[in-house]
Structure 1
Amino acid sequence: MEELPWIEDTGKVAPKDARQLSKLFLDRLKVLEEGTHEYQYARNTLIEMNQTLVRFAANRFRNRGSGDMEDILQVGTIGLIKAIDRFDLSREVEFTSFAIPYIVGEIKRFFRDTTWAVHVPRRLQELRADLVHAQERLSTALDRKPTVAELAEDLCLSEDEIIEGLVAANGYTAGSLDLPMDGTGETDGSGQTLADVRGECDPEIELIENFHALGPLLEQLDERERRILDMRFVREMTQAQIGGELGVSQMHVSRLLNRTLTALRTAMLTES
């Protein structure tokens, strides 16, 4: 590996040494061609050497919610990868200072998107927190539960906004489908639960089989075909952007995509 030291065990690299080595690897990463063995080595080594940053950031969220630490570390690593891909040495900023906000931001986004039993807009999630504090404060002052009008006045919002926030707050937690029909947690003698009378077969369940069938077929594609699919459907780049990165026309990208997708569809139909 020219110009880059071979690191057999990144876990044994001291944090101080990791900072120095990261500068070297980041500098080389910017001039290496994406997709090459050298590029993958430099990028993967940077990710592994800087796992201490992920663990440092993740420890701040150890006792928050019900998030499993392994999940938090994985999400934090996604933030680290984004920091590596977007870091610019010319800014003369320490990589650790640049990476931590990306890691923490990714973890916060994870909690924001997974803590609620039903996903609601960020605006309503924040409104729920304000409502909880306002209800506690007004309940103490009034010695009773506040009305919608009183909450609206306290938070300087309209009554419609308060009602919307209260309805959305119902999505924070979910009741069990194993509860008896009366919803109180006490048996009503019928033995019937909510699961017995709610729900139906999800037609989208068939997609799971398609995803399983698609995996091995993707592995049979060459590096360029997989890269184009990744840019189009994972990174959500336009055909023009893909063409600019590959140095080909948008029309050529369109033909490559159509050819690859047609081959995948044909292979899936053949297997089924």
Structure 2
Amino acid sequence: MSAFVGEELDLDICAEEYARARVGVEETERERLREDLIRAAMPLAGRLASRYTGRGEPAEDLEQVARIGLVKTVDRYDADRGSFTAFAVVTIRGELRRHFRDHTWGVHVPRRLQDLGLEVKRAADMLTARLSRPPTPAEIADLLDVDEADVRAARTSLAGYSAESLNRRISDDDDTEIGDLLGALDPEMAAVEDRTTLANLLLRLPRRDRRMLALRFWGNMSQAEIAERFGISQMQVSRLLSRALTWLRTAMLTDVVPPWPGESDALGVRMTVTAGPGRARIVRLYGEIDRDVAAELRVRLLASISAGRPSRLEVDLAGVPLLDAAGMRALMVVRETAVARRVGLRFTGVSPYLAQLIRATGLGVMLS
């Protein structure tokens, strides 16, 4: 098989002899014949690879790619289908072009745009020679029978073949790098930390206060509309919003988060029970009575009526600035239970505003 070695050999003849010799021999002999043909055709692969040098890829890498194409040629060669040399040239060139298409682009570009970009470049060169001026995208699109937008996209994609380093200096006399000229300060970046802190603080607020803030500042609802939704007065909404905003502002400006008013009490409204004259019982309430606490408060007041069977229950509301519809319903249930148990019930320390609400529900007789 020494006839397979040497550049001067006719590769078509060598390939035909290889095809005949490998019939009916053992696997080890076929492998040796294959390697001989590959070595004989190696100079052809080298010459084809050299035609693609100067395009940014190392010559050694191109030669390796060409040799891979050569191995594929030998493995796929069929003597009945034509010249080995012609088949090798087509296969090796295809392998080299595929390498440039898949591995040498600085930015990933779809294959369709890569191929169209090459056609656009050739068409532009041809039209430039014909028109003696650079052609317009519309003229190139008309020649290639494609959309003008595709021509523009293909031209843009060609710029992705070789990426420019952001660390390259703009000139030899200036140390400024290209990256220094790109981008700008983002004023929103300074607010990221504040936004994160505020989000965590909002989670500390009671659910009702969070809803009010959301309706006011995200839902763009007026205080009157919020008051109607919660069944309280507009003045109360104003006070609650002011309290929440004051607490948030203080918490944002301090390292230690201040306690939320009433946060120490799980109910959200404090309740103390003391004994009065005779078998009377005095219950003092402190805090806001709304639907978040009304149910639990009702249970506590009913327990005060049941425990020890007091002759009279005095509920001191002097420390209650807010009483919504749910709170009123809780007091009405307490009143019905007190009547059924023959326990006298009185509301004391009531502000004029709360007194007006209590009278509107028919509980005015309980006021002191």
Normalising by structure 1, we get a TM-score of 0.50
Higher helix share: 1
Higher strand share: 2
Bigger Rg, which one: 2
Relative contact order, CA 8 A, sep 6+: which one is greater? Answer: 1
Normalising by structure 2, we get a TM-score of 0.39
